[in-house]
Amino acid sequence: MHNVLLETTKIKNLKSGLGQFCLHLGRAIQLKNTQFGLTYYLARQCREIFGSAVGYADEKKWHQVFGLPGKPDILHWFYQGSHYWPKNKNAKVVLTVHDLNFTVKYSGWKRKLKMDQLQRQADRADRIVAISNYTRNEILRHLEVDGKKISVIYNGVDAGPHHAVKPAFIPGQKFFFTIGIIAQKKNFHVLLPLLQAFDDRVLVIAGHRGGAYAEQIVARAKSLGVADRVILPGEVSEEEKAWLYQNCEAFLFPSLAEGFGLPVIEAMSCGKPAFISSLTSLPEVGGPHAFYFRDFQPEHMVEVVRSGLKEYAERPDMATAIKAWTSRFSWEAAASQYLEIYQSLVTH
């Protein structure tokens, strides 16, 4: 039996997108696997998260210098930027690339450092996987891949049963919802003028709010006179998130840079209308059943939301169509595709 080492160290932060990716894909691979010995490389406190039928290797800082333990036949880097490389030079390597957002976020030496690191990983990888066609095109644009095959495997939707819990911060009136790390690339501040047009709605922006951008949002809300209808609760539990998706009037996501855009699919899987940016990977994710902001001028955004909500209200079949669209994004399907890649690497 061939052995696969899965580098899933980001799972220690389940509030992050990469943590969720490691959890859900790692779990789906464990459930679908019949032909490989699986060992999950992660922090010691995360042991047993994938059950007792698989192996675990503890994350250690010195492995960044001396290489990963054991002699796996395949190493799967679940994300780009890993500092843990295989000690076994004969190991086949799979690299999952989520985005190249650093090409926009950084410049100068920091951008070059990130690019060089990703290029080294791409050079070492035997197979590269992108989580969207947009990310695949970005890889081809910025990296030398020497004709290596780049597969596209979409993320899935967490179909796990979450008991929905209403957050204490929710008021009685209708609300718009969005979620993500409170950072400039998420572009959340452009949503604030919507509250002037929809003066009976509340806007909930959930996610880690430790940086200056959150304070900019608060200041902007005050200047527009809508601060009393903007809620930034910070990170929410999975149960609270489930309730917010299920009970919001609409999901809003004006992000400027995404490798995939998992919150869009999570909201749409609840049959909710999603109003999203037309940039980067988001049109792939939202497809024909989302509503798109072509720019971020308040008048345009108000019209998109107003007309979209009207269409949603007048089409009783729309929620069903939205849910049906999201069925193509499955962690089970993703796991099957990754297992096929593993198999191809040990048989060729």
What pLDDT, on the 0 to 100 scale, is given for residue 74?
97
- Mean confidence (pLDDT) of the chain: 95
Taking the C-alpha atoms of residue 308 and residue 300, their distance in angstroms, rounded to an integer, is 12
Res. 159: pLDDT tops 80: no
Domains 2-156+330-347 and 175-326 share a fold: yes
Considering the entire predicted model, what is its pTM? 0.93
What pLDDT, on the 0 to 100 scale, is given for residue 215?
95
What pLDDT, on the 0 to 100 scale, is given for residue 28?
97
Residue 150: its H or E element: strand 150-152
What pLDDT, on the 0 to 100 scale, is given for residue 211?
83
Res. 348: pLDDT tops 90: no
What pLDDT, on the 0 to 100 scale, is given for residue 17?
87
Q: What is the pLDDT of residues 211-257, one digit of tens each?
A: 899 999 999 999 999 999 999 999 999 899 999 999 999 999 999 99
Token pair, residue 6, equals 């899965």
Res. 161: pLDDT tops 90: no
Q: What is the pLDDT of residues 99-125, one digit of tens each?
A: 999 998 889 999 999 999 999 999 999
What pLDDT, on the 0 to 100 scale, is given for residue 305?
98
Taking the C-alpha atoms of residue 318 and residue 250, their distance in angstroms, rounded to an integer, is 13
CATH H-level, domain 2-156+330-347: superfamily = Glycogen Phosphorylase B; (3.40.50.2000)
CB atoms within 10 A of CB 248: 22
Between helix 318-326 and helix 298-314 the angle, nearest 10°, is 110
Taking the C-alpha atoms of residue 220 and residue 122, their distance in angstroms, rounded to an integer, is 42
What pLDDT, on the 0 to 100 scale, is given for residue 26?
97
Res. 59: pLDDT tops 80: yes
All structural domains of the chain with their residue ranges? 2-156+330-347, 175-326
Sign of CA dihedral 85, 259, 158, 190: positive
CATH H-level, domain 175-326: superfamily = Glycogen Phosphorylase B; (3.40.50.2000)
